[in-house]
Structure 1
Amino acid sequence: MDLRENNRENIEYMIEAIKDKLQFVNAGAINAKSFNTNKYDDLVEIYEMIMSKPNFSVSELDAIASELGKLRA
């Protein structure tokens, strides 16, 4: 998958991968349709950071959830 392309399919892929990796308890609250393509670059940065780390502290998870919330349309 080429994440350099700003499209809905890539957004859905990244959101699903983030939810799987972080094992969010309320994963239903994070819906790929809520993310707009105008914040695509920010979403890619968050996705790459999440995929590069093996685990996260509680405070990191809170910060990630907060940032994802800010990116939603």
Structure 2
Amino acid sequence: MNLSEKSSENVAFMIQKITEKLNVINIGAIKPTHFNEDMYDELKDIYELVMKKNTFSPSEMQAIAEELGSLRKM
């Protein structure tokens, strides 16, 4: 997958991988439709950070969730 291209498919892919890696219980809280391509670069930064790490502290998970929340469409 070429994540250098801004597309709704890439947004959906990154959100899916982030929720899988973080073992998000309430997946409905983080849907690809909540994000638009204007925030693509920020979302990609979060995706890359999450994919690099194997484990997350509770405070890291909270920070990632808050950051994703700040990127959501209003």
Same fold (TM over 0.5): yes
Deviation at 1:28, TM superposition (A): 1.3
Q: Provide runs of 4+ in structure 1 moved above 2 Å.
A: none
Match of 1:62 in 2: 62
Which whole-Å CA distance do the structure 1 matches of 2:18 and 2:30 have between them? 10
RMSD: 0.5
What SS does structure 2 have at the residue aligned with 1:40? helix
Does 2:32 match 1:27? Answer: no
Match of 1:11 in 2: 11
Does 2:52 match 1:52? Answer: yes
Number of residue equivalences: 73
Match of 2:41 in 1: 41
How much identity, in percent, do the aligned residues show? 49
